[in-house]
Amino acid sequence: MSGIGELVNKAKITLILTLALQSILFLIMYRYDNESLAWVMLLVPHIVITLSLGYLYTRFKVDVLTIVVGWVPILLANITLSANLLDILYIDLISGVSKIIVYYGMSKPSFSVLVDDLREFMLTGMPSEYAEEHKSGITIIKMNTNSKSKEIEWIKHRIRDNNKRGIRTILFSYYDIIHPSVFQEELAEMLYLVRVTQDRNKYTSLFENKITTVNDDLNIFHRVISDIINASRETTIPADIIIYTLSQIILMKGPNRIYTILVSKNPELKEGDVSLSCIIHPDVHEDHATVSKFESISREIIQFPHD
C-alpha cells in the first residue's frame, strides 16, 4: 500500500495530465470549431476525476467513497446533457444534490500532506554522540510491570537516547493512554506524536508542535507507517517508531490484521533504516500464543524491567 505522500503525488500527476489534455482539445476545437469536440472537452475532466477516485478507492483503500458517490451522478448528468436526454432543470437538480455530497466528502479528507510534515521533522536534530549502526526492523518490548509511570519513563529515556544518536522518534499513542502533556518542552522537540483515537470522522489532521491525530483504522496506520519509511529513505535519517501499545491494537482490532501488516512492512523497515518498537503487555493476553506469534517476526525482544 502506498503512503499518503505518494497518493498526493499521483493526484498531482492526474491533474497535470487532465489540464494538458484539456489544452490540446481546446486548441483542436479552436481550429476546427466542432461542437462534438466541445462536449468531449467538457466531459474529459469529469471522466478522469471519476476514474482516478475509483482507482484510489479500490487500489489504495483511501476512504473517498463519499466523493465518488457524489461525483458519479455529476458525470452522468453531463453525459445526458450532451446527448440531450434530460431537461436542463432535472440536470441542475441532480448536479446540485451531488455537489453537496462531494462537499461533505471533501470536508473530512482521508489524507493530507503529512509526508511533508514528517520530512521536516526528520531533518531537525543532530546527533551529539557517536552511534553504532541503527538496527532496523521490528522490536518487541515486553512490559512486565503494572506501573504506567515506569513505562513512560522508559519511553522518555528511549526518546533522549535516540535523539543523541541522531535517530528521529515517532510515537503512536493509542486512545490517549499517553497524553501529549506528559512530554515537557525539551522532549517535545525530539518527538513526533501520532495520537490514535476512535473518532471515525478523524482521519489525518496536522497541528502545531509535531502532533498528528488519526483514527484507529488500520488502513491509515499502514499508510502512515509507509510515509515514515519513505521520509527516512528520502532524508537518509534513521527513525524509531514506538507503538504504545501493540496490546491495545490487538485487543481492539484482533491479532490477525495487525500481524499481516507488520509482516508486510518488515522488509521495508529494514530497507528504510526504520525500527518499529512495539510495546506489549503479556499479562493482558489470555492466549500466550498471540505474544509468541509477534515475537516470531521480531529482530529483538526486550524485557522491561530487565531480567
What separation in angstroms does the CA of 271 have from each of 108, 154, 278, 299? Answer: 33, 27, 19, 14
Residue 307 has pLDDT above 60, yes or no: no
CATH topology of domain 114-304: Rossmann fold (3.40.50)
pLDDT score at 116: 61
Q: How confident is the model at residue 205 (pLDDT cuts 50, 70, 90)?
A: very low
Whether pTM > 0.85 for this model: the answer is: no
What is the SS3 assignment for 63-78? CCHHHHHHHHHHHHHH
Cell numbers at 114, concatenated: 503529512
Q: How confident is the model at residue 179 (pLDDT cuts 50, 70, 90)?
A: confident
What separation in angstroms does the CA of 175 have from each of 118, 150, 164? Answer: 21, 19, 29
N-terminal to C-terminal alpha carbon distance within the chain: 38
Only one residue has cell 494538458, namely 20
Strand (E) or helix (H) holding 217: none
User: How confident is the model over 60-112, as pLDDT tens digits?
Assistant: 656 677 888 888 898 898 888 888 888 888 888 888 888 888 877 776 544 44
What are the boundaries of each domain within the chain?
4-106, 114-304
- Say what percent of the chain tops pLDDT 90: 27
Let me know: does 240 contact 159? Beta carbons within 8 Å: no
Residue 159 has pLDDT above 80, yes or no: yes
What separation in angstroms does the CA of 32 have from each of 19, 38, 41, 98, 177? Answer: 20, 10, 13, 34, 66
Only one residue has cell 509477534, namely 294
The overall average pLDDT reported for the chain is: 80
The span from the CA of 109 to the CA of 201, in Å, is 9
Q: How confident is the model at residue 296 (pLDDT cuts 50, 70, 90)?
A: very high
Give whichever of 123-132, 174-183, 248-257, 266-275 has the largest mean pLDDT. 248-257
pLDDT score at 206: 40
Q: How confident is the model at residue 27 (pLDDT cuts 50, 70, 90)?
A: confident
